[in-house]
Amino acid sequence: TLDFQFDVQDGLDTKSGILIGIAGVVITLMVTSLIGTPSLLTRIIAVIIVLVFFVSLVLSYRNIRIRDWQKPPDIDALIKEYEHEDAHTTKCKLTGTIQLAIKKNQIILEKRIQLYKWSYKIHFVGLVLLAIAVIILAFT
């Protein structure tokens, strides 16, 4: 379970990193398009798109920054700490430690998944706005 949780976390980091990269490129292109553009409509559209992608970027960055992760117990420390305990006591303490780590990680994963979903949805809205802007500006 802990390995699976680590895999999910790595996947969220990768997906959020991709959203950050795309948002950064779009923001750069939109800001560049604002320079020397006399049209008020073009400026308004570009600013709205920049703001939408900026929100997506911030949520993705915040998602990656969550690092309060519970790692599996250190075997060497466990051996040293429980070498004089009976097997049943050691198993119970080990199982309890792992169970606590899994529960804490699940709470963190749920928060990260929600942040990613919001970032992705906002990112998609930004892409739709970008497509609409291209169509509008092509015919004006």
Query: Where is 17: in which H helix or E strand?
Result: helix 2-34
- Of the CA atoms within 13 Å of residue 105, those in its CB half-sphere come to 20
User: Are 70 and 100 spatial neighbours (Cβ–Cβ below 8 Å)?
Assistant: yes
- Of the CA atoms within 13 Å of residue 83, those in its CB half-sphere come to 6
pLDDT digits (tens, 9 = 90+) for 35-56: 777 788 888 888 899 999 999 9
More confident residue, 30 or 119: 119
Reference 108, options 119, 118, 100; nearest CA is 100
Reference 16, options 53, 60, 57, 51; nearest CA is 60
Q: How large is the average pLDDT for residues 67-93?
A: 78
**pTM (2 decimals)?**
0.78
